[in-house]
Amino acid sequence: MDILGKINRKIKSLGIRNKIYNYSYNISAKILTYPLGVRFLSIRRHTITNERKISLAITHYNRSNLIAGALRNVLMDDRINDIIIYDDCSSIEEFSEMQAITKKMSNKISIYRGEKNLGPYHSKVTAISKCKNEWAIILDSDNALSRNYVDRLYQISTWNTNIIYCPSFAEPNFDFRQFANTELTLYKLKELILKNENIKLLRNLLNDGNYFINVQKYIECSKQNELNSVPAADVIVFNYSWLQQGYLLYVLDNLNYYHRIHSGSFQIGSWRNSRQIVDGIINSLANYEE
């Protein structure tokens, strides 16, 4: 009975700690993702010069209110000298609002608006194609890089063009650290799926995005779906094509970002489409034959 009591007390303690963490996270996220908070944090950001430069590619559709938060921790980082914001044909009002928000934030920001809505897959490819550096971070407009995200990338002496570097933690909700420092190939994913190695978490990882990629290799691989409509689950669709071409996904330890939950995070129609596509690819991976 005493052992059961200790276990119950431990569970209760973890639950309280988790609630406190989420509460403090939500408060700090609100403060530090408004334009003034983002600029204040960026002023205090100390960086070092480096010959290797990185672009940041952000896609946006009717989320002008989230754009400033996506720039958290990058505005005054000299290693990121090129920020692309691609508007996937939002309303003129949304586009104008986004322009107004970002206009005075940094002169390294370039803003584009598509003439028609391309959807998440093709809008990301378009944004990445406008990057001026060989390497880029893909970032969804409702997320933000951790303070140490870029530091972690520069701890790698040579970036491998055949690898997509994946985050190991989308704070505070999606923890992929059990896959950290793992090279994911078609065969490795089949092995994990057949072992039933936390399939739900694996689904989320493969459809997560917010990656560090080689621009040229990403664009070349995207051509496999150039003529296809990808209505949902764009990340796992791309990843499947990437892996089919013999390239790797690598879950990099301590590569974290902040995932912001908001009213537009879950839409029933797109969620159902996404689930169907993800399940189809997971099934294909489970039946993969070399």
Using one digit for the tens of pLDDT, what is the confidence trace for 105-157?
889 999 999 999 999 999 999 999 999 999 999 999 989 999 899 999 999 99
Task: Mean pLDDT check: name the lowest of 36-40, 122-126, 264-268.
Answer: 264-268
Extract the tokens encoding 5: 């009591």
Highest mean pLDDT of the ranges 10-24, 42-56, 119-133, 228-242: 119-133
CATH, residue 137: 3.90.550.10
Provide the pLDDT for residue 228: 80
Q: Note the pLDDT tens digit of each residue in 132-146.
A: 999 999 999 989 999
Could you tell me if residue 1 is inside a domain?
A: no
Q: End-to-end alpha-carbon separation of the chain, Å?
A: 53
User: Do 175 and 202 contact (CB within 8 A), yes or no?
Assistant: no
- Cα–Cα dist 158/248, whole Å: 15
Q: Does 167 reside within a domain? A: yes
Answer whether residue 28 is part of any domain: no
pLDDT bin (cut points 50, 70, 90) of residue 36 is low
Distance, in Å, from the CA atom of 241 to the CA atom of 31, rounded to the nearest integer, reads: 39
- Average pLDDT along the chain: 84
Residue 16 belongs to a domain: no
The CA-based dihedral angle spanning residues 125, 126, 131, 135, taken in that order and rounded to the nearest 10 degrees: 0
Higher pLDDT, residue 124 or 104: 124
Q: The whole model's pTM is what?
A: 0.84
Number of domains in the chain: 1
Domain residues for 212? 33-286
- Rounded Cα distance between 277 and 271, Å, is 10
| Residue 10 in domain | no
The string of pLDDT tens digits covering residues 181-218 is: 999 999 999 999 999 878 889 999 999 999 999 999 99
Cis peptide before 231 (omega within 30 of 0): no
Helix axes 215-222, 119-129, angle to 10 degrees: 140
How far apart CA 149 and CA 151 sit, in angstroms, is 5
Q: What is the pLDDT of residues 237-262, one digit of tens each?
A: 999 999 999 999 999 999 999 987 75
Q: Is residue 27 part of a domain?
A: no
135 occurs within a structural domain: yes
Assess if residue 258 is contained within a domain.
Answer: yes
In this prediction, residue 242 carries a pLDDT of 97
More confident residue, 237 or 48: 237
